[in-house]
Chains A and B, each alone.
Chain A
């Protein structure tokens, strides 16, 4: 029988002395999709991933990976053969080169992909002879992803694959992850970047303080919790801003952090606003409509803003 779900979790709980890291969560991940676990640091993402990888004990609940029960020793052994992992803080032999490290990890498995193909996949051809300790953060992560693929796994766990990377490196990593999906692999991704989840994921689960707040495709989540589309009027000076405020008073205008005026976009509102501003010859610089993002979903679900602060992430 072919499994329909790559991962099935039922009532999973993980307690530390007086802290509940994972609080009774249940969900399913379909084979072949990219699943993103979205939440701030300390929400319980890594804990869940490590339980699924078989390297952390759970307190209670059940979990199946590719139809195999993680509680059974025999099953766990099988799981380890068909999954790939990228730990949050990935480290490997410092004094070994990229190629030597890949070869090392490939020998852990009975069957493995050719090392050169993996190097090509993550575009590390020019760095094959560089020692791990001399690689930049982005290259280390890329090597980590390559290593997570050495056994040609059916399911790949990527724990914060782009944390600490610059925007370009992040985009390159996204391409690699999308490539995995096209090969038919299931990807379990954890991230605290909204954009990453939105771009990559087929299904997103939002986790906060050990609880899953909601789960669904990005569009579904936005529809459910993101609220309405918004109209943003951009302007450059305070005088214009005040003028717009007065004109759009009936729409309940708000001001965002960039000094733009934001109103919610009810049906037909856009043409009215444009007409109104044009009639009064207001010199706004731009007018756009915005769809709500996962950011808004997160805000409405948790009442908190997901802080994307590289500094605090690094620490």
Chain B
């Protein structure tokens, strides 16, 4: 074959790819809802996940109800302090700075245990947790300072286990109690903890780490649904068979669509980053040029997967259902929204079967210099997946009727 011939072939292929690409783009621009969703979807996704998972522990504000039945009066006792009051103060009562630091807001429950048991009060008022200082507690604490055999002085903590946050509040109260213990009994503090944040992550928040993950979640969801919808619809209307009777090749058609997916992916990325920056002060310095190939190969992976689903599930609505059953678990298991290490071990193994796992690994690794050396494996996997799924997708696409 002569050189000119090859050049001519490439030109004709490019012309066909360009035609599919530009007609898809034109169609997209002219469909109101499609345009609207493309712009609004990434914004909603980043706001949603940014707030839900991005609410770092120090942004939370828990409400702790307390009931102080202790009527200890400093005046008529031997000791000059009131442990019950001290405890509440150490938990941030009437001290906004401390309250903000502990993420705890104390609210007086204001009922009498003589009338209603604490369990029932908590149930009836749908309250997650209640701290009860029983009457005589302060006196008991003070007595035990002189009397070694005095019984232990306990406060009571009631919780509704359906509120998963009870555990955090319980340990918080526990810590404050321990401090009180040390202070009240004059135990020397021999060991203390001095916490520092990992050096490079100091200025970074959740959002900085998960903007790339959220971008990929959006791209995988929107991209797969879009492509599956398109492919099944083109088959239903017969458009694809009309196309099949022209000289266009399957790979040209697939390339055009994946190219379009990549463009949409970049658009989603820009929108997400901008929204993240405006709403959550996303740290733009973490953006790295390597993210662009990751984005492109990621889009190819999901595009290819979409074509594969469309090949096997022919009815558009069934295909949509199949796509959702894949996309949804992937979103949560792949570590794009929260670190996969949080998951039970067997789920961590399942997570590795989802393409998004490697893509978000790669995205996160490129952000920091210290983890940059880890990028090559997930990046390699991402590129390989992009190519393999693209080829599989275009081979498996069937243009012939049975």
Contact = CB atoms under 8 A, between A and B. Distances in A.
Interface of A: 16, 50, 53-57, 77, 80-81, 83, 85, 87-96, 100, 103-105, 107-110, 131, 151
23 contacts: A16-B402, A53-B244, A54-B244, A55-B244, A57-B400, A77-B247, A80-B246, A83-B245, A87-B245, A88-B238, A90-B238, A91-B238, A92-B239, A93-B23, A93-B26, A94-B27, A96-B23, A96-B26, A107-B15, A108-B247, A109-B247, A110-B247, A151-B246
Interface string B213-243: 0000000000000000000000001110111
A87 B238 contact: yes
Contacts of B325: none
Nearest to B19: A107
In the A-B complex, list the 7 residue pairs whose CB atoms are closest, starting with the nearest. Answer: A107-B19, A95-B30, A91-B237, A108-B246, A56-B401, A85-B245, A53-B245
A108 B400 contact: no
B18 interface: yes
Contact of B239 (A55, A91, A109): A91
A46 to B, nearest CB: 10
Given A50-B241, A93-B23, A109-B247, 10 more contacts: A53-B245, A54-B244, A54-B245, A54-B400, A55-B244, A100-B26, A103-B19, A107-B16, A110-B12, A110-B247
B34 to A, nearest CB: 10
Contacts of A104: 19, 23
A54 B241 CA distance: 10
Contacts of A89: 237-238
Given A55-B399, A96-B27, A100-B26, A108 B244 contact: no
B162 interface: no
Contacts of B19: 103-104, 107-108
B242 A92 contact: yes
B248 interface: yes
Nearest to A100: B26
B317 to A, nearest CB: 19
Interface in B29-86: 30-31
B257 to A, nearest CB: 14
B241 A108 contact: no
Interface residues of B, number: 26
Nearest to B402: A57
Given A55-B399, A95-B26, A96-B27, A108 B248 contact: yes
Interface string B246-271: 11100000000000000000000000
Contacts of A107: 15-16, 18-19
Contacts of A96: 23, 26-27, 30
A55 B399 CA distance: 7
B242 A85 contact: yes
Contacts of B237: 89, 91
A104 B24 CA distance: 10
Contacts of B245: 53-55, 80, 83, 85, 87
Interface in B366-402: 399-402
Contacts of B27: 93-96
B31 A87 contact: no
A107 B401 CA distance: 24
Nearest to A92: B239
A148 to B, nearest CB: 9
A236 to B, nearest CB: 50
Contacts of B16: 107-108
Contacts of A57: 400-402
A238 B31 CA distance: 63
Nearest to A52: B245
Contact of A50 (B18, B30, B248, B401): B401
Contacts of B248: 108
A93 B402 CA distance: 25
B36 to A, nearest CB: 15
A142 to B, nearest CB: 16
Residue among B16, B27, B243, B247 with the highest chain A CB neighbour number at 10 A: B247
Interface in B1-32: 8, 12, 15-16, 18-19, 23, 26-27, 30-31
B247 A80 contact: yes
A108 B243 contact: yes
A116 B12 CA distance: 21
Residue of A80, A85, A91 contacting most chain B CB atoms (<10 Å)? A91
B260 to A, nearest CB: 13
Which of A54, A94, A107 lies at the interface centre, i.e. has the most chain B CB atoms within 10 A of its CB? Answer: A107
Contacts of A105: 246
Contacts of B26: 93, 95-96, 100
Nearest to A78: B247
Nearest to A95: B30
A92 B26 CA distance: 13
A302 to B, nearest CB: 27
Nearest to A51: B401
A90 B239 CA distance: 7
B205 to A, nearest CB: 42
